[in-house]
Amino acid sequence: MKYYYQIEGYVRNNIGDTLQGLAAKAFLPNEAEAVDREALSEIDDKSPALLLANGWYMHRWDKFPPPANVKPVYISVHVARTQILAEKPIFEHFKKNAPIGCRDRKTQIYFLGWGIPAYYSSCLTITTQPRAEVNHSGVGEYLLVDNVDHIVPNEVQAKLEELYGHKFTRISHDPLESDMPLQEYAHSTEERMNALLKRYCEAALIITTKIHCALPCLGMGANVLLIHPDPSDYRLDTVKKYMKIYSYEDVMAMKSTPKVTLNSKRLSKYQKFLKSIVNSSVEKGYNIMQKPVSMKLKYIKFKSLVMAKIVRFGVTVLFKLGIKKDEIGRVFFGIWK
């Protein structure tokens, strides 16, 4: 059997996508191959294969889904636009390969509202293993990690430096190079990401606006704090389960250094949950959630099936009653004016 993990391919604007691929790669045999998330239908090897299909879906979907010989394990999925589910072949593909493990609750509701069984899995990046001994001394680099999506304003950096009494070194999750073939890009960005993860382990503190800096740091046990222009952003829900998120306004109003909070019990719970699903799926060669053996996973599958029927019925009734008809029609029925 062949094994695949996915990265952002030829639409390259955030090496956090590489980190998601690395999180999947860690569970696969050494010969596992990176594939382009935006062009999965172009996998041309006809051998039986398993794809750990975690991550962000997606810029475009004219080259999706993967071919029938590739068995996807959909876990830690985030859907950016529900237009993807309005495409009949894609809808049928997801339903065939359900239940879908979702990175955030809103994505779970999207799938359930379309009648596709789904459950909350959290993000696979919380299983990231340390690349070096984790620094708990308070002595070392103070890092500020952002990218073009959420650049930390200069005044916020200045305030943080005032609060901590240290200069922060900025690190970007923007790709350094993107004009290269896929496998070369995968190798290059994986090397860079591994170097960054090592640096995060060795840092005294990491402050970031990036989900896929904060979550792997939590997984590794590094000292991390997430700040964001809009802490209510639903994409941050999976982070909020484990730690407090501060807004830029919160930072600017602070009189002392913010506390780094961590719900370690909940983090450990979801780390074990994710590892059990992925390890079992890789061992069996298919998504274990489709044929679960433990009572816990059987219950999660059953609940996802029931909830898909209930939520789909609910949105259908609301649509027919004309309650938020335009929004529900757009999100759950693919009706765009």
pLDDT along the chain (337 residues), means of 10: 90 81 96 95 96 93 96 96 94 98 96 98 97 94 90 96 96 80 88 95 97 96 96 91 96 93 95 98 97 96 98 97 95 84
CA pair distance 229, 153, nearest whole angstrom:
10
- In 10 A of CB 306, how many CB atoms? 12
Which pLDDT score, from 0 to 100, does residue 9 have? 77
Domain with CATH 3.40.50 in the chain: 2-124+270-333, 127-262
Q: What is the dihedral of CA 274, 280, 281, 285, to 10 degrees?
A: 160
Q: How far apart are CA 39 and CA 257, in angstroms?
A: 45
DSSP H/E element including 233: none
Instruction: State how far the Cα of 132 lies from the Cα of 201, in Å rounded to an integer.
Output: 6
Of the options 1.10.1740, 1.20.950, 3.40.50, 3.30.1490, the CATH number for the domain spanning 2-124+270-333: 3.40.50
Closest C-alpha among 283, 225, 298, 275 to residue 76: 275
CA 63 to chain centre: 21
Short-list 34, 41, 39, 30, CA closest to 19: 34
Residues forming a β-bridge with 6:
35
Q: Is the pTM of this model over 0.75?
A: yes
| Burial category of 55 from C-beta neighbours within 10 Å (exposed 0-12, middle 13-18, buried 19 and up) | buried
User: What is the side-by-side strand order in the sheet with 169-172?
Assistant: 169-172, 142-146, 205-208, 224-228, 245-247
Name the DSSP class of 167.
P
Give residue 337's pLDDT. Answer: 54
Question: In one letter, which amino acid is 320?
Answer: K
DSSP H or E segment with residue 51: strand 49-52
Report the CATH fold assignment for 127-262.
Rossmann fold (3.40.50)
